[in-house]
Structure 1
Amino acid sequence: MEAFERTGPVKVVVVEPGYASYAAESEVLTPLGVQITALDWQGDRQTLLRGVADADLIMLRDTAVDAALFDAAPRLRGLVRYGVGLDKIDLDAARERRIKVANVPDYGADIEVADHTLALFLAVRRRIVTRDSAVRKGAWEVGQTEPLQRIAGATLGLVGYGRIARAVHKRFAAFGVDRVLVHDPFLDEQGAAAAGVIRVTLEDLVEAVEILSFHAPGRSDLRPTLTAELIARLRPGVVILNTARGSHIDEAALSSAILSGRVAGAGLDVFQREPPDRDNPLFDLPHLVVSDHTAWYSEQSVQQIQQLAAAEAYRILTGRIPLNWVNPW
């Protein structure tokens, strides 16, 4: 067990945006004499750097963390990410400085994300948003102006096949989607056979599916997974869903594909830039349903993620190894 050397009070900085209350963190960490501070830096880099200068540990959701931030916090011994994704954290820089980084991959949000993915799909495929708008304006019995396709019998494509994607698979199966193609380099043939899915290349997947859903981490260089070239190879009439990372999709190419009718519609919870610009051309498209990176959210998931993150912070501050240590040395 490593000793955690410090002088004066221990300071934990929670980088906003965070949560409505930090009672769960306080309950776990206050017995250690920890002072918890919420840093509302409002997007100003210098405020962020000043705010973490005397931190022993940082807790955050989606703020990008680079070597410069680590250097601005010489007392820093740990960082806990509320959630799973690590693409915004420079793990190598943290390792070089002996700063333990932990995430919270098992807070149960596979339930919420899977539910949200299906909700976005149904809203797009059944034209809920446009029908709602039209009926409110007095239209009636105009469904055939927006052709609707049956869900049962469709082919589902999943990019990534971890816990969330498997939950999505289960929900779509209830609607009669029984052929599922998966692109996931970590899934072997035996695992695919056991799950009842077919392993394919990304190129073969985009050409064959009628529903395409992303459930994998984004690339470290933020290059899109679904490029303009791959979008051009999509099967006409496909519905695209993204509740993973905004970097997966070339938004300009998607916009053009929806306008041309090649893509029937899309449900997006994440964007290349968050929050997205208000003049994002995607927002002018009638067959796009969006939400604000909230697929993971429920009151229950928030409570669980805060409790688990606090437990990881406790382990780091008491010189122990966090359960989900992502940059070991």
Structure 2
Amino acid sequence: MTTNLVVFGSCNMDLVAYVPTAPKRGETVLGREFHTVPGGKGANQALAAAKAGANVRMIGAVGDDDLGGQIRDILRESDVDVTGVRTVPGRSGTAHIVVDDEGGNSIVVVPGANAAVDGLADGDEELIAGSKSLLLQLEIPFSGVEAAAAAGRRNGVRVVLTPAPAAELSEDILSNVDLLVPNEHEAAILAGDDDPHRALRTLLERVPEVVITLGGRGSLYGNRSGDVVEVPSFPVAAVDTTAAGDTFAGVLCTALAEGADMTEALRWGSAAAAVSVQRTGASSSMPTREEITDFLAGR
């Protein structure tokens, strides 16, 4: 079954170096591999959802450089509709990623063309209005996130926000969010509490539903009706955790848009993330629907 999701957010080219140990300040280390892979939290979520079987439209911006054309091409090749991806003068966004042998990563994002996504362009609201869910992140200007969330609310579309990179959020944004999907660190910043259960209760005062991802410990869901669900992760040997959170969010929203209940949707998101961390890269690590189904069948 296909779904209809719109992702409003960032499109980057990921520049990924693989090293035994990440360098400390002032230190130079030798890497063993280097890859360029289209990414950005917005494009990553769009690709994850499309590979999981969703009908996805991407709204964002790329530069008029070679990287912009490459980003468009990989989105199209994965059956993501790029009608809403506009080209602006200058450089495309980039993410400079260092991945160590334990699968951990550190990332520097240079927004580039993503800085132009500071509001709705012509046609954006129509694309949002025609969807079941709208996925948002924070790698574009807050004014763009706020405008898209408001458009989602006006048109009765489920608005899902991954608050990353971590930042304080205004009520102008959160008042239009239906489902918030932070990781532990982001939840602690937003709630002012590093205990996930207490953070969940605090965040539910601001949004109707919350999913907190807990890394190797799984995920925690709650809503204002008092429902609380904890879903454990699937233990695997991580090679590269880049974009695991974006994979989780894209597949979670795909499952929800297909009518899955929250527990099943969380299992699908967790399974997709578990498959992705066993591979290198961001968009290149994301599983297909068949791979997710096969993984769950073996558990």
User: RCO greater where, 1 or 2, for CA within 8 Å and sep 6 or more?
Assistant: 1
TM norm structure 1: 0.28
Rg comparison, structure with higher value = 1
* TM-score, reference length from structure 2: 0.30
- Which protein has the bigger strand share? 2
